[in-house]
Amino acid sequence: MKLIVLNLARSTTEEELKVLFEEYGAVQSCDLVLDKATGKSKGFAFVEMPKPGEAKFAIISLNNKKVASNVIRVKKAKDKKA
């Protein structure tokens, strides 16, 4: 299940995010979205977790949690329309 993580502190790293989500289960991938011009975080990321049950537990546990002084939002990512 692909999750979107919103309102991340600009200082949050991909590794920190991966560690945070691994507390709730296996993490297949973690992609912090970066600004092409500056190379800095845009404040959101995608986390992919192979087991839906673990992903749902991560959503429930991490949505509205304070991480690096920001209250993050976690939800299921919408599928891109072709």
pLDDT per residue as tens digits for the range 51-70: 999 999 999 999 999 999 99
* pLDDT tens for each residue of 8-42: 999 999 999 999 999 999 999 999 999 999 999 99
Q: Is residue 8 part of a domain?
A: yes
Q: Is residue 48 part of a domain?
A: yes
Q: Is residue 40 part of a domain?
A: yes
Single-letter amino acid code for the residue at 22: E
Strands (E), 1-82: 2-6, 29-34, 41-48, 66-67, 70-71, 73-76
Predicted confidence band of residue 81 (pLDDT cuts 50, 70, 90): low
Task: Give 71's contacts (C-beta < 8 A, 6+ positions apart).
Answer: 7, 64, 65
Q: Is residue 54 part of a domain?
A: yes
Q: Is residue 76 part of a domain?
A: no
Q: Is residue 74 part of a domain?
A: no
The CATH number linked to 62 is: 3.30.70.330
**Domain of residue 8, residue span:** 2-68
Number of domains in the chain: 1
Q: Is residue 44 part of a domain?
A: yes
Predicted confidence band of residue 79 (pLDDT cuts 50, 70, 90): confident
